[in-house]
Amino acid sequence: MKIPLSYSFRNLWTRKLTTIMTIVGLALVVFVFSAILMLANGLEKTFVGTGSDQNAIVLRQSAESEALSSVSLEEANILSTMPEVALGADGKPLITKEIVTMINLPKRGASENDLSNVIVRGVSAAGLVLRPQMKIVEGRMFNFGASEIIVSKGIQQSYTGVDIGSMVKFGGRSWKVVGLFDAGKTAFASEMWADNDQVRQAFNRQGFAVVIFRLKDKEAFASIKSKIAADPRLNELKVLHEQEFYAAESETLATFIRILGLMVTIIFSFGAMIGAMITMYAAVANRTVEIGTLRALGFRRRSVMFAFLIESLFLALIGGVGGLLIASLMQFVTVSTTNFTTFSEIAFSFEMSPRIIITTLIFSLVMGFVGGFLPSFRAAKLNIISALRSA
């Protein structure tokens, strides 16, 4: 016969203080555990969302990041005449030749010398068409041929001197901020955009950094890849799916956050498991007579063990859900740090996902199981007569 679940659950409330303390301990561990997963997930999502699976990006073969890549004018021109490049409504190829460079800007609230690197991207007219996630939310788009820039809303909020109408100095010129854009949760949200030819002239570059274009159809990627490899004029270049490229940019940092965070969490989850174990051992010790009574009534050893294990799993589940609830509040927090692949600042937020919820709940149940196993085993092992006598 089974012991009813309510027995296990109600027992938790007989000693509230101890139960609450154990739950809080478990919840703290779960909170850190899921917050770290959310952080790594948010970072990856930002970069994956930056690229589109319909676009391809061409870089110099040796370049790991856009800023270190270079594509010459000739190479860019050859690429724009390729039949694999999709055409826009106006019949022009959907291709953007971009310059990616960085400038220093002071963060709001930081000292004057505390500068962070912000990406400045020079784009062709097709640049906006290729990134439908980009929208101008205030002011207007920059005019091609003018020294004007548009700034991401996120950058405008966290840096000084980039509000609409203000002048930003870089590349030996002053640039007027004419608009703010919203790029959702993408890496573009940490950038400033301008006319590619203006940026190229200002920084005195011979060519562009990368070329990005819309693929005509699914087969176009393979065909352009083999063309680039075979063409002696282009074989110093490589072509990648845009989405894959940006995902790879976040890989190092995301792995770092995961490994570091999980290692630390796993070590101190032992602390919480031990807390649960102490609580459960005490629960067993305090209820020795009760256990004896249950056994005398005919409940099996298995049922007793099950009842205590369930109690411990309840503890863990409440802790796990509590921890997840606190962690989900972190979704409103945006973190900004340097991405060591590009050496520029990148803003991203904690991002919850169903997978994280499941992983976290499993993690907390494992803690409850490990913590509760030995105490329940002890409860099941008790001898009826000595248990009843122990009062």
Catalog residues that contact another protein under the rule CB under 8 A.
Answer: 17-18, 21-22, 24-25, 28-29, 31-32, 39, 61-62, 64, 67-68, 101-104, 114, 117, 172, 203-204, 206, 256-257, 259-261, 263-264, 267-268, 270-272, 274-275, 277-279, 281-282, 286, 335-338, 340, 343-344
- CB 185 → another protein: shortest distance, Å? 17
CB-based contact 271:27 (threshold 8 Å): no
For residue 126 the two structure tokens come to 């097709």
Residue among 296, 276, 25 nearest 284 (CA):
276
With respect to another protein, which residue has the nearer C-beta, 124 or 265?
265
With respect to another protein, which residue has the nearer C-beta, 220 or 228?
228
With respect to another protein, which residue has the nearer C-beta, 335 or 388?
335
How far apart, in whole angstroms, are the C-alpha atoms of residue 117 and residue 372? 50
CB-based contact 296:305 (threshold 8 Å): no
If you ran DSSP here, which 8-state letter would residue 332 be given? G
- CB 325 → another protein: shortest distance, Å? 16
- CB 31 → another protein: shortest distance, Å? 8
Angle at 252 between CA 363 and CA 127, to 5 degrees: 115
Positive or negative: CA dihedral 219, 221, 223, 226: negative
- CB 171 → another protein: shortest distance, Å? 9
With respect to another protein, which residue has the nearer C-beta, 43 or 130?
43
With respect to another protein, which residue has the nearer C-beta, 82 or 277?
277
- CB 219 → another protein: shortest distance, Å? 29
For residue 390 the two structure tokens come to 């122990």
How far apart, in whole angstroms, are the C-alpha atoms of residue 36 and residue 234? 42
With respect to another protein, which residue has the nearer C-beta, 232 or 354?
232
Residue among 340, 316, 324, 246 nearest 36 (CA):
324
Angle at 173 between CA 172 and CA 179, to 5 degrees: 140
With respect to another protein, which residue has the nearer C-beta, 282 or 362?
282
- CB 335 → another protein: shortest distance, Å? 5
- CB 69 → another protein: shortest distance, Å? 11
How far apart, in whole angstroms, are the C-alpha atoms of residue 111 and residue 299? 70
